[in-house]
Structure 1
Amino acid sequence: MESTIKQKSIKTDDVKKVESYRWIVWSILAAVYVFVTFHRMSAGVVKNDLESTFNIGAAQFANIGAMYFYAYFIMQIPSGILADKIGPKKTVSIFSIIAAAGSVMFGMAPNLLVAYAGRFLVGIGVSVVFICLIKIQSRWFYSRNFALMIGFVGMSANLGALLAQTPLVVAVGTFGWRSTFIYMGLAMIVFAVLTVLFVKDDPKDMGLPGMDELENRPAVSSDIKVMPALKSIMSNKRTWIISLSYIGLYTGYVVLLGTFGVSYLMQAYTLEKIQAANYIMTAVVGSAISGLVIGYLSDRFKTRKIPLLATGGLTLLGWIVLIYTRMPIGMLAPFMLAFGFVMSGFTMCWTVGTEVNDRRLAGMATGVVNCIGFLGAAVVPVIMGKILDNYQATPAVGYEKAYFVLIALMAVSFTASLFTTETKGQNIYEG
């Protein structure tokens, strides 16, 4: 009897250790993810600085931003393989050093070619972090809280996006754009070291019970055959439907917060750069709130499709209002707050992508969905930039035509959302 009680007590203590230490693991990787989104969104704020330094137009500027997304696109499936095969700890620590080197190279770039190379290296380095963070959550947190934890990931992303707005304007004004990116690279090295020292891929690495044991589910093997796994994911039509839903939502998020949002508001409302950046920050705040609220409600009511449809439809409407109307300046801040809130509905796509595929392949499944989204984020801004270059004499017309490309893609994504599968908060993969 005493032995049974002692075993239960030890097990309770172990559970408490898991539930405590998981936040250390998660917080370190979430902090690294702040750098990921900072680099992703920073180009739009330093647009004029880059155009002046390298004597380039909107299309070449868009290519600087696109280098990050090309690298990210290339690495999404390999990132999933690395996360599933060698684990998040090794993957993030190694690739963070690569990203740090790229950031320093970008800051020191003597010409456009080196700037492209630096941004590409940054994209390669940070491309693994999100998927590794999702993998960590699947191994350290209860599955019933998956969408809520995705919301917390969204908060980390939005913190990076916040830093890439007004704080970046201030930093560039104080240190210059070159030094700012060099310092960010050096800071990434610090977090690479923290990852090596404190991150564990699974509670079992510390002699603690894993989530499989705590949730009484079959153990997940790390002995994954890559090609059969990819075939399983990519032959699943549900993967492609949710990826199509994701591409427009995510591309719009990137365009507003990271590429042409600040410059568009400066042109449309005759704002100074810091004023425009403040309005974009308002959208980021709305997005940060949204991630938690949508994640909580999705988990609470066991629905993924309803939040995705509601936010997708409102996001499409919001884009039409923002581009083709001119609201009173007093309405711009509350509009941007609400717009940022609904825009973050794309986080549901990550959740659905894992729930319609074999749960052992969470990293690769997320990678495939991300791959499609980042293809849009790489290509669409370049198309928009070329349109803007063709309408330099009439920028207002140029922005309307450029944003029409994005709005059309958004309409395709919303249509795809109508055909997504409702998972009811459970993994529905049938093999």
Structure 2
Amino acid sequence: MSAEPGSRPGRRYIVWAVGLVVYGLAVFHRSSLAVAGLAATERFDISASQLASFTMLQLLVYAAMQVPVGLMVDRFGSRTVLTAAVTVVSTGQAAFAFAGDYPTALVARALVGVGDAMTFICVLRLVTSWFPARQVPLVSQLTGNLGQLGALGAAAPMTWALGQFGWTRAYLAGAVAGLVMLVVLRLVLHDTPAQAHLRGVPMTARALGRSLAASWEQPGTRLGLWIHFSTPFSPALLGLLWGFPFLVTAEHTSRTTAGVLISVLFLTNLVYGPLFGWLVGRQPWHRSTLGLTIIAAMASVWAAVLLWPGDAPLWLLVLLILVTGAGGPGSMVGFDVARTSNPDHRTASASGIINVGGFTSSLLVIVAVGVVLDLLSPGGAEGTYTPEAFRWAMAVQYVLWAVGAAQVLRYRRRVRSLTTREQVAGGSTMVDLGRP
């Protein structure tokens, strides 16, 4: 039964909570290989490049699906697309639990990527549909940040589960949790307060192309894309695959310490998210400056770790985690730029364009690290990754930071040429400024 408009205001938080848990579960599935990289090399007898291909394929599928998913959400609504998402991601995780060979495991991770790709834009659309406009920026920021707590469950708890229950039962538990959430989703979640299912107007292929082209032509959309490209790949590199092996093999921390550090990486979202949301609200003109500042901070602390003679001290590794953790919440600034750059009927598709950026950069850097490790540490077995090889491999991040920062500066100039501070004071919806 559809809820009446404006009835039971508290219901919006219930709907949001369900969507948030579904998104967090998808993040858990996405990140569940992070602490199992060394175990995966043994289980499937694979090299570093082959190990990286799991995450590479998953992120490639995710990035490739963002624009189609945005169009699907605009057309069929969040409830329908989220139902498909939970079904597919749970199927993929179950298949990964039972996989005994490399090709089967690849197919399973591809399914995880497909299901994962459908969740975030759906929840953003729910926020837009259920919350007053003045609350949308804060709730959207909280959605991105709190959803990353799913990765926390894939850090230390997943390390414990793998040790206690083994590969199959540890991964199968996540798939079962997805089935439970599917039931809750169907019982609770509606697309809007007035409609369980909100359907968009059917569009021809030509009309879809025009809509996407209009979003792409907005300089603010491209600025948001490059902010999203430049900021999240470093925490993804650590949290999705290479952080645990880097800390254990290159910096010689214990497995427990490495698991705790990865957990702290995800916990930083709880601090940075509200902080960045407040900063963007107070200084909307400087959203791109915030992105550039995050890039500079991450590049600086990584330089200190990689150039440190011998093993970096624990305090420096903690600092690395704390600074790198800003990248994920920082990427949400790109969505805020997209929101203020496009009309409501193009919000989901524009967000899909933005979301391609970070997952493309994450894909590139994760694959590049695996390739460099294989070149400098032939064999790919545990113990063959030398600290020197890891330093060179992790240094590939600087190529992406240089490209991303240059593009942010380029499109910031274009956006600011179209706007003035007086227009912001007048409350206009501007592509680079937001709604003050």
Q: Give the alignment's TM-score, normalised by structure 2.
A: 0.86
Larger % of helix: which? Answer: 1
Give the Cα separation in 1 of the matches to 2:272 and 2:250.
26
* Number of the residue aligned with 2:389: 398
* Number of the residue aligned with 1:202: 192
Query: Kindly tell me: are residues 320 and 131 of structure 1, through their superposed partners in 2, closer, same or farther at Cα, counting changes over 3 Å?
Result: same
Amino acid at match of 2:290: P
2:304 is equivalent to residue 321 of structure 1: yes
Of 404, 421, 430, the residue aligned with 1:428 is: 430
Amino acid at match of 2:300: L
Bigger drift between 106-115 and 301-310 goes to 301-310
Give the Cα separation in 1 of the matches to 2:428 and 2:401.
27
For residues 330-387 of structure 1, give each alpha carbon's deviation from its aligned partner in whole angstroms, at most 9, with x where no partner exists: 4432442243135531110121122222222111111111123222222321121011
Give the Cα separation in 2 of the matches to 1:71 and 1:330.
37
- Confirm or deny: 8 A CA contact 2:225 2:354 kept in the other structure: yes
SS in 1 for 2:232: helix
* Number of the residue aligned with 1:24: 14
Please state how far the C-alpha of 1:221 moved relative to its aligned partner.
6.8
Give the Cα separation in 2 of the matches to 1:141 and 1:408.
40
2:398 is equivalent to residue 389 of structure 1: no
Bigger drift between 288-297 and 222-231 goes to 222-231
Of 341, 362, 385, the residue aligned with 1:356 is: 341
* Number of the residue aligned with 1:9: none
Of 28, 46, 53, the residue aligned with 1:56 is: 46
Query: Kindly tell me: are residues 427 and 186 of structure 1, through their superposed partners in 2, closer, same or farther at Cα, counting changes over 3 Å?
Result: farther
* Number of the residue aligned with 1:216: none
Bigger drift between 353-362 and 180-189 goes to 353-362
Structure 1 unaligned residues grouped into runs of 5+: 1-12, 211-219
Give the Cα separation in 1 of the matches to 2:279 and 2:135.
11
SS in 2 for 1:136: helix
Bigger drift between 354-363 and 159-168 goes to 354-363
Aligned length: 406
* Number of the residue aligned with 2:237: 255
Please state how far the C-alpha of 1:394 moved relative to its aligned partner.
6.3
Give the Cα separation in 2 of the matches to 1:331 and 1:230.
44
SS in 2 for 1:32: helix
2:400 is equivalent to residue 409 of structure 1: yes
2:299 is equivalent to residue 308 of structure 1: no
Give the Cα separation in 1 of the matches to 2:116 and 2:428.
29
Give the Cα separation in 2 of the matches to 1:71 and 1:314.
30
2:262 is equivalent to residue 280 of structure 1: yes
* Number of the residue aligned with 1:159: 149
Query: Kindly tell me: are residues 240 and 101 of structure 1, through their superposed partners in 2, closer, same or farther at Cα, counting changes over 3 Å?
Result: same
SS in 2 for 1:260: helix
For residues 162-196 of structure 1, give each alpha carbon's deviation from its aligned partner in whole angstroms, at most 9, with x where no partner exists: 11111110011111122111111111111122111
Of 98, 103, 111, the residue aligned with 2:101 is: 111
Please state how far the C-alpha of 1:134 moved relative to its aligned partner.
0.8
* Number of the residue aligned with 1:45: 35
For residues 12-70 of structure 1, give each alpha carbon's deviation from its aligned partner in whole angstroms, at most 9, with x where no partner exists: x96462x3111111111110111221122222210011000010111000001112112
* Number of the residue aligned with 2:226: 244
For residues 111-139 of structure 1, give each alpha carbon's deviation from its aligned partner in whole angstroms, at most 9, with x where no partner exists: 11010000001111121100001111111
Please state how far the C-alpha of 1:222 moved relative to its aligned partner.
4.9
Amino acid at match of 2:271: I
- Confirm or deny: 8 A CA contact 1:38 1:160 kept in the other structure: yes
Query: Kindly tell me: are residues 201 and 222 of structure 1, through their superposed partners in 2, closer, same or farther at Cα, counting changes over 3 Å?
Result: farther
Give the Cα separation in 2 of the matches to 1:114 and 1:246.
32
* Number of the residue aligned with 2:330: 345
Give the Cα separation in 1 of the matches to 2:428 and 2:143.
20
Amino acid at match of 2:241: T
Give the Cα separation in 1 of the matches to 2:226 and 2:59.
17
- Confirm or deny: 8 A CA contact 2:85 2:118 kept in the other structure: yes
Amino acid at match of 1:277: G
Q: CA RMSD in A?
A: 2.5
Please state how far the C-alpha of 1:407 moved relative to its aligned partner.
1.8
SS in 1 for 2:68: helix
- Confirm or deny: 8 A CA contact 1:357 1:427 kept in the other structure: no
SS in 2 for 1:50: helix
- Confirm or deny: 8 A CA contact 2:28 2:150 kept in the other structure: yes
2:69 is equivalent to residue 84 of structure 1: no
Give the Cα separation in 1 of the matches to 2:299 and 2:351.
24
SS in 1 for 2:430: coil
* Number of the residue aligned with 2:381: none
- Confirm or deny: 8 A CA contact 2:223 2:334 kept in the other structure: no
* Number of the residue aligned with 2:208: 226
* Number of the residue aligned with 1:217: none
Percent identical residues: 24
Please state how far the C-alpha of 1:206 moved relative to its aligned partner.
7.1
2:352 is equivalent to residue 367 of structure 1: yes
Bigger drift between 178-187 and 243-252 goes to 243-252
SS in 2 for 1:378: helix
Query: Kindly tell me: are residues 417 and 147 of structure 1, through their superposed partners in 2, closer, same or farther at Cα, counting changes over 3 Å?
Result: farther
2:163 is equivalent to residue 173 of structure 1: yes
Query: Kindly tell me: are residues 331 and 314 of structure 1, through their superposed partners in 2, closer, same or farther at Cα, counting changes over 3 Å?
Result: closer
Please state how far the C-alpha of 1:396 moved relative to its aligned partner.
1.8
Amino acid at match of 1:248: S
For residues 393-419 of structure 1, give each alpha carbon's deviation from its aligned partner in whole angstroms, at most 9, with x where no partner exists: 662222122122212201222232334
